[in-house]
């Protein structure tokens, strides 16, 4: 009956039906049904009911896993899951854009569990942030066991979609306004994830440049190495109307499913077993393909580690005319494991790469594994699971910078800040969480935001207003936005030695209107600056400044700090009003900003 309402002149609109299947009666104004006596409340982790208020871009999809969706083990095919993920994300993007959208890229996906036939896949997708013509869509995937009521997370993904107008022209997107604390956090960090995507290729190049050029083959007990050429797979697919979206372009999810298929075959040829896909590395779609195209899919095992292997796979498109050169559509790198009966990864055979390109792919796979570990360890973990002082090196600099800035943005977006003290123009707030006491101190200062940003991001001048700082030496200028300092501070109470810190300072200008200037600090370790006997090595987990322009000449300057155990007594003494040291320091900061603003004006006048 519901589908009949979508029939307009005996023509069923496909987009309406698909949206209806994914979202149910979201637009219904009927009152919610009363729960019958003895009926269970919805299990935690289940999708919100359609009547609950939610993000207007949110799309929910529930799919029952049938035998036609599964592999030989009765588990949901990863390719099928990728198609559902892409479909839900595309619907969310188009709901915000109001026009057709295409998949531009997909961040790393780590599959935590397999899904069996008869279980339900729940997918929730919503737009986290819209930029000029692209937007980031966050996707959460879980499964539901209908018999036991169990819910379990499968993966979390971030996809970038581009809005397209007539003849493929770009469309300028309307801004998105986050409402909940979770949405504000995702909105803020989306800019950092976008920045990380843009430098992804450069990170690999830098690591390969700094690594030895010789290919070192792993030695392992067991049978001889398998030639990589034996794992090579090539397959062709004809793009038919069911494989395309309403624009006639091949579904990004369909291309990913075909790529996963040939990658699985290549992995099977190495291990002579049925492999399980564990991760897909960040990838970008380089161009579209249309109905009628032939897609040539190629895969080969690039490297076999002890318990996992990397398979490289590419997709090229061409039309009916063979004389026309093939168009490179996509390349991806997939990580497979082979599980034993207990579900533990088995030891894999060694791989013998081909001379030339094979050895290059072998080396690049090793570099990508290191980058994946850095990215998963520093970026994907919860903030409390990341060690305080992570070793800094050339390969993880992008991810440490991301972690530094995103941790501060997450702290800023928290909703439960409580006003603790107010002294003249200075306001002090606290945030009490399970493991941390954080404080925020802010005031309005008569200075342009950009000028305040420039002054406060230079730690070498902090001793001019912060009496706790003795000196700050610039150890390494990573780039224009990230610098590493060795900081020496005053002695703490009950301490015999001054403290020192190795601090990564990451600065960001606003990405769009309404964003603050950000200066974030966190501890790192450097082999050139180990702990020394004359200092007590201190650490900072998350601190920094956010500066919001209030007018051309006025700015709101706020300092945030997630207090470490050694500083708790100092912080609580100030919060309780037994000391005014933090407020006095911030007042000195205001005088420093105003003085340097006047000095700049005098120099300009001269």
CA 470 to chain centre: 37
**27 pLDDT more than 50:** no
pLDDT tens digits along 349-387: 999 999 999 999 998 898 888 777 776 655 554 444 445
| Angle of helix 181-198 versus helix 397-413 axis, rounded to 10 | 160
Our CA dihedral for 400, 406, 408, 409, rounded to 10 degrees, sits at 160
Residues in the chain, overall count: 606
Closest among 350, 342, 37 to 216, alpha carbons compared: 350
For strands 294-304 and 390-391, give the pairing: unpaired
CB 468 within 8 A of CB 489: yes
**566 pLDDT more than 80:** no
pLDDT tens digits along 496-512: 888 899 999 999 999 88
Entry pTM: 0.76
* Residue spans in the chain of domains classed CATH 3.30.530.20: 385-596
**Which residue spans within 79-189 are E strands per DSSP?**
101-106, 109-110, 120-130, 134-144, 151-163
Domain spanning 385-596: which superfamily? START domain (3.30.530.20)
**249 pLDDT more than 90:** no
Report the Cα–Cα distance between both ends of the chain, in Å, rounded: 80
CATH architecture of 56-181: Roll (3.10)
Calpha distance 98→103 (Å, rounded): 15
Query: What is the fold of 224-383?
Result: Thiol Ester Dehydrase; Chain A (3.10.129)
CB 189 within 8 A of CB 410: yes
Closest among 583, 561, 571 to 492, alpha carbons compared: 571
Q: What is the mean pLDDT of residues 568-575?
A: 74
* 327 DSSP 8-state letter: E
CB 337 within 8 A of CB 328: no
Q: Where are the alpha helices (DSSP H) in 69-180?
A: 78-97
For strands 59-64 and 101-106, give the pairing: unpaired
For the ranges 203-217, 314-328, 536-550, the lowest mean pLDDT is seen at 203-217
pLDDT band with cut points at 50, 70 and 90 for residue 199: confident
CA distances from 313 to 194, 300, 407, 501, 542 (A): 24, 7, 34, 45, 39
Percentage of the residues of the chain whose pLDDT score is greater than 90: 51
CB 159 within 8 A of CB 107: yes
| Residue 65: predicted pLDDT | 95
pLDDT band with cut points at 50, 70 and 90 for residue 576: confident
CB 192 within 8 A of CB 406: yes
* Residue spans in the chain of domains classed CATH 3.10.129.10: 56-181, 224-383
**13 pLDDT more than 70:** no
Closest among 606, 505, 600, 506 to 553, alpha carbons compared: 600
CB 271 within 8 A of CB 230: no
Sequence-ordered list of residues with C-beta below 8 angstroms from that of 161, at least 6 positions apart, any chain: 89, 90, 93, 97, 101, 102, 103, 104, 134, 135, 137
Q: Is the dihedral of CA 220, 307, 381, 203 positive or negative?
A: positive
223 versus 194: which is more confidently predicted? 194
Helix (H, G, I), strand (E, B) or coil at 252: helix
CB 216 within 8 A of CB 277: no
pLDDT tens digits along 390-444: 778 777 788 888 889 999 999 999 888 999 888 888 999 999 887 778 999 999 9
Our CA dihedral for 540, 541, 545, 548, rounded to 10 degrees, sits at -170
CA distances from 41 to 34, 38, 45 (A): 11, 9, 12
| Residue 510: predicted pLDDT | 93
Q: Phi then psi for 278, rounded to 5 degrees?
A: -105, -30
């Amino acid at each position: 009956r519901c589908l009949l309402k979508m029939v307009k002149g005996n023509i069923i609109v496909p987009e309406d039906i698909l949206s209806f299947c994914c979202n149910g009666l979201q637009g219904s104004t009927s009152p919610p049904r009363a729960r019958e006596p003895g009926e269970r409340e919805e299990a935690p982790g289940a999708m919100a009911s359609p009547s609950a208020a939610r993000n207007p871009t949110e799309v929910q999809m529930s799919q029952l896993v049938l035998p036609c969706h599964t592999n030989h083990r009765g588990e949901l095919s990863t390719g099928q899951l990728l198609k559902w993920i892409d479909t839900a994300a595309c619907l969310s993007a188009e709901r915000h854009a109001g026009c057709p959208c295409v998949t531009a890229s997909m961040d790393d996906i780590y599959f935590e569990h397999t899904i069996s036939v008869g279980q339900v896949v729940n997918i929730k997708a919503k737009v986290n942030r819209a930029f000029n013509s692209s937007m980031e869509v966050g996707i959460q995937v879980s499964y539901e066991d209908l018999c036991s009521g169990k819910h379990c997370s499968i993966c979390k993904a971030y996809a970038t979609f581009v809005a397209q107008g007539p003849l493929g022209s770009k469309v300028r997107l309307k801004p998105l306004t986050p409402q909940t604390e979770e949405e504000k956090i995702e909105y803020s960090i989306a800019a950092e994830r976008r920045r990380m995507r843009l430098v992804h290729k450069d990170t690999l190049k830098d690591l390969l440049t700094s690594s030895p050029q010789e290919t070192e083959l792993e030695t392992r007990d067991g049978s001889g190495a398998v030639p990589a050429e034996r794992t090579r797979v090539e397959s062709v697919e004809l793009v038919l109307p069911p494989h395309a979206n309403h624009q006639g372009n091949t579904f990004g999810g369909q291309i990913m499913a075909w790529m996963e298929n040939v990658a699985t075959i290549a992995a099977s040829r190495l291990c002579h077993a049925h492999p399980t896909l564990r991760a897909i590395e960040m990838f970008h779609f380089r161009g579209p393909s249309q109905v009628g195209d032939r897609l040539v899919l190629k895969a080969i095992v690039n490297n076999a580690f002890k318990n996992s292997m990397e398979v490289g796979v590419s997709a090229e498109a061409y039309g009916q005319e063979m004389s026309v050169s093939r168009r490179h559509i996509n390349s991806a790198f997939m990580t497979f494991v082979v599980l034993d009966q207990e579900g533990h990864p088995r030891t894999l055979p060694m791989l013998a790469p081909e001379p030339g390109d094979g050895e290059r792919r072998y080396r690049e796979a090793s570099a990508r594994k290191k980058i994946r570990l850095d990215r998963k360890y520093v970026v994907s973990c919860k903030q409390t699971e990341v060690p305080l002082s992570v070793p800094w090196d050339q390969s993880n600099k992008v991810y440490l910078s991301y972690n530094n800035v995103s941790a501060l943005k997450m702290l800023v977006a928290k909703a439960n800040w409580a006003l603790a003290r107010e002294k003249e123009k200075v306001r002090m707030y606290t945030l009490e969480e399970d493991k941390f006491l954080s404080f925020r101190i802010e005031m309005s200062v008569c200075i342009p935001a950009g000028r305040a940003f420039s002054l406060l991001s230079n730690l070498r001048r902090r001793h001019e207003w912060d009496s706790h700082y003795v000196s700050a030496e610039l150890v390494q200028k990573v780039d224009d936005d990230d610098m590493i300092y060795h900081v020496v501070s005053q002695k703490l109470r009950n301490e015999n030695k001054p403290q020192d810190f190795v601090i990564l300072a990451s600065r960001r200008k606003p990405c769009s209107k309404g964003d603050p200037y950000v200066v974030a600090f966190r501890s790192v370790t450097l082999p050139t600056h180990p702990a020394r006997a004359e200092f007590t090595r201190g650490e900072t987990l998350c601190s920094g400044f956010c500066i919001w322009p209030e007018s051309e000449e006025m700015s709101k300057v706020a300092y945030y700090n997630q207090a470490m155990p050694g500083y708790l007594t100092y912080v609580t003494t100030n919060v309780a009003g037994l000391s005014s040291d933090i407020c006095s320091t911030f007042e000195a900061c205001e005088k420093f900003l105003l003085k340097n603003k006047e000095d700049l004006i005098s120099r300009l006048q001269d």
